[in-house]
């Protein structure tokens, strides 16, 4: 079964024109996870400071080397889904375990998902993921991988935000488990058609 985006949201790609909206959301949320600015999955990874992370992310946006869907509630950016080909979303959590059983790289990867602290559990990430999968289809489709966290059988993660998303959300969108790469993390795959 394929899920869809909640109707109350509008989505747009992260571009130089939407950068101010993205930056406002990041700044309103402490730079996201203490200043990562959603740069950790890019090939250049984390820089030496919050400002370095911000500048590196902005350079990717200016150079069009980032695929990211922003979610809006009215005029306010409230969340996102980062995705891209493996050369763009080059770093993933539990990479050593991932590479042990790697047969072939996917065409696309989902890097991270985020909803602003005042907009969680309201369908923001669902809207972002739906729009990202649609954009992947428009770009020709292919095999898409995600690396979400399993919640079943696990103690509640109080106050935690799962930056790669919960496994159950990806199941709603037709992703299936491929292999475990950590106690609570899975490689999940789905083929998107154009």
Please state, as a whole number, how many other Cβ atoms lie within 10 Å of the Cβ of residue 133.
Answer: 26
Q: Residue 177 contacts by C-beta under 8 Å, 6 or more apart in sequence?
A: 167, 186, 187, 188
pLDDT single digits (tens) 16-45: 999 999 999 999 998 887 889 999 999 999
Give the β-pairing of 67-73 and 10-13. Answer: antiparallel
Q: Is residue 3 part of a domain?
A: no
Three-state secondary structure call for residue 175: coil
Q: Is residue 22 part of a domain?
A: yes
pLDDT in the model for residue 166: 87
Q: What residues are paired with 69 via a beta bridge?
A: 13, 81
pLDDT in the model for residue 120: 85
> Full-prediction pTM beyond 0.85?
yes
pLDDT in the model for residue 37: 93
Q: Is residue 2 part of a domain?
A: no
Q: Is residue 75 part of a domain?
A: yes
Q: Are 111 and 84 in contact (CB under 8 A)?
A: yes
Q: Is residue 4 part of a domain?
A: no
CATH at 112: 3.40.630.30
Q: Are 117 and 160 in contact (CB under 8 A)?
A: no
pLDDT in the model for residue 163: 76
* DSSP per position, 93-146: TTHHHHHHT--S--SEEEEEEEE-TTSTTTTHHHHHHHHHHHHHHHTT-EEEEE
Q: Which of 167, 110, 166, 165 is nearest to 142 (CA)?
A: 110
**Which parts of the chain have pLDDT scores under 50?**
1, 159-160
Domain span holding position 69 = 10-192
């Amino acid at each position: 079964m394929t899920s869809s985006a909640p109707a109350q949201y509008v989505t747009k790609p992260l571009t130089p024109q939407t950068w101010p909206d993205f930056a406002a959301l990041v700044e309103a949320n402490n730079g996201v996870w203490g200043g990562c600015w959603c740069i950790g999955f890019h090939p250049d990874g984390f820089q030496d400071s919050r400002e370095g992370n911000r500048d590196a992310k902005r350079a990717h946006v200016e150079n069009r080397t980032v695929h990211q869907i922003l979610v809006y509630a009215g005029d306010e950016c409230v969340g996102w889904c980062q995705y891209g080909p493996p050369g763009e979303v080059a770093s993933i959590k539990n990479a050593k375990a991932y590479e042990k059983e790697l047969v072939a790289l996917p065409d696309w990867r989902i890097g991270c998902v985020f909803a602003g602290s005042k907009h969680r559990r309201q369908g923001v990430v669902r809207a972002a993921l739906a729009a990202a999968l649609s954009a992947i289809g428009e770009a020709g489709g292919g095999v898409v991988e995600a690396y979400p966290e399993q919640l079943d059988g696990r103690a509640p993660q109080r106050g935690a935000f799962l930056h790669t998303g919960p496994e159950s959300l990806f199941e709603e969108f037709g992703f299936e488990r491929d292999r475990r790469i950590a106690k609570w993390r899975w490689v999940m795959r789905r083929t998107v058609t154009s």
